[in-house]
Amino acid sequence: MLTGRGNDENNMAGQDKSIPPFPLVFLQPVADVHCLWTALSLHISPCDDDGSALFSRLFNEFGLSQALGQLSCILPVPDPARFSLELDEPLRRGQVMLRIPVEHCTDSLQHPALDRLHKQGYGIIADGLAPRQAIMHAHAESLLLDCSDGIPLGAAHWMHRLRGPHLAENVATPLQFDQCRAEGFRWFSGEYPLHPSSNASQKDAISRARLLKLLELVARDADAPELEALLKQDPALSYQLFKLVSSAAFGFSAHITNFTQAINLLGRRQLQRWLQLLLYARFPGDESANPLLPRAAARAGLLEALCQHQGGDRDEQDRAFIVGMFSLLDVLLAMPVSMIVAPLKLPPDILDALLQRRGRLGKLLDLVERAEYGSVPLRHSDLEESGIDAATYCRSLLQAYRWASKVSHEA
């Protein structure tokens, strides 16, 4: 069970209302033009200070550095003069990027603070659009703009003057993604991956149909030769399976020479999880990664961790993982979830969770979807109803994203 000092703080907060609750922490993936994660943008619910103390705790106690892996982290800094991280271990230069209101980046009185932060190894992103005549601080080389209503007028002027990479935030659709990319943005965040793509090929649909069949065989404990026979029908699936089995992200260094060996090495439980991942993986010839892959992995990992915290046994944790992994299949395949899961003979609690958000797993899925910083945000009361304190949720979130960030680059 996940525990930590945050549980004690939460209990104390319940007894003393003068102690503020642990802030809600949200992580938003930032992807490049090829849909590979390049950074995690951190958002927090309002707190009394500038966030420095919380950010220091996240790095030192909660494992934020491990969750990042090779990714950068974007932290909101409302006042650069007050910002300071106290870290137990140094970070690589440029790993942390500070999103600073553009008015500070163009204010000469703030330049000494920005110089200090640059010397300490932080990247600086100007958050917002400055007037054309403004003078931007020399180390504010990237621009972050809210593109929920389209690309702001005047963006091109500053994007041409600053080196970048420039980040388009709140990109809602694949069409907006294409427009922002054409304008010169190279980093993107928003809900655009959650909209079905009209470019999915029939070949991909066939491959994923075989994957669903494989999952059905694994679920009923079919013999290895039966699994191998189906795998051999699809070169793309064979390639993806061997690629994932050989991936360093999953801890195997031995050469994989045949399907039976792969199945025996993995075990049925791990094979089932990898097949679930393969549903979202890119296929040979794809120009970009599937942006749904790491998102589904993050959902699955977070559901599993929260289920564990609630006291679920290993079997229920496995079912929670499946719920998270399958929760985006309707987006991936552009068809109703009910049609997708019908042939899989899934347990009733998984079906109730996926189809109706009912039961313990369904409530956790609803909570995890709110945790994605979407239109219906997560609240402290949502966590309390599930018996989860905000600090434990934060630890679970970072644990899930640690794996999802690996999946984004290794799958």
What whole-number distance in Å separates Cα of residue 292 and Cα of residue 84?
35
Instruction: Please give the pLDDT value at position 202.
Output: 43
Instruction: Please give the pLDDT value at position 7.
Output: 45
DSSP state of 44: E
Estimate to the nearest angstrom the gap between the alpha carbon of 272 and the chain centroid.
Answer: 21
**pLDDT value at 264 more than 80:** no
Whether the CA torsion 112, 115, 119, 123 is positive or negative: it is: positive
395 or 245, which is more confident: 395
Residue with tokens 């892996």: 69
**pLDDT value at 5 more than 80:** no
Instruction: Please give the pLDDT value at position 10.
Output: 44
For range 29-52, the mean pLDDT: 86
401 or 205, which is more confident: 401
What whole-number distance in Å separates Cα of residue 2 and Cα of residue 309?
6
Instruction: Please give the pLDDT value at position 398.
Output: 95
DSSP state of 148: B
- Give the closest residue to 390 by CA, choosing from 85, 4, 47, 6: 6
Domain boundaries, the chain: 24-194, 199-411
**pLDDT value at 318 more than 90:** no
Query: Ramachandran region of residue 204, left (φ > 0), alpha (ψ -120 to 50) or beta?
Result: alpha
Note the pTM of the prediction, 2 decimals.
0.80
pLDDT band at 15 (very low <50, low <70, confident <90, very high): very low
pLDDT band at 11 (very low <50, low <70, confident <90, very high): very low
**pLDDT value at 304 more than 60:** yes
How many C-beta atoms surround the C-beta of residue 249 within 10 A?
15
Query: What kind of fold does domain 199-411 have according to CATH?
Result: Hypothetical protein af1432 (1.10.3210)
Write the pLDDT tens digit of every residue in 104-151: 999 999 999 999 999 999 999 999 999 999 999 999 999 999 999 999
**pLDDT value at 95 more than 90:** yes
194 or 258, which is more confident: 194
Instruction: Please give the pLDDT value at position 211.
Output: 78
Query: What kind of fold does domain 24-194 have according to CATH?
Result: TIM Barrel (3.20.20)
Instruction: Please give the pLDDT value at position 272.
Output: 83
pLDDT band at 286 (very low <50, low <70, confident <90, very high): low
pLDDT band at 37 (very low <50, low <70, confident <90, very high): very high
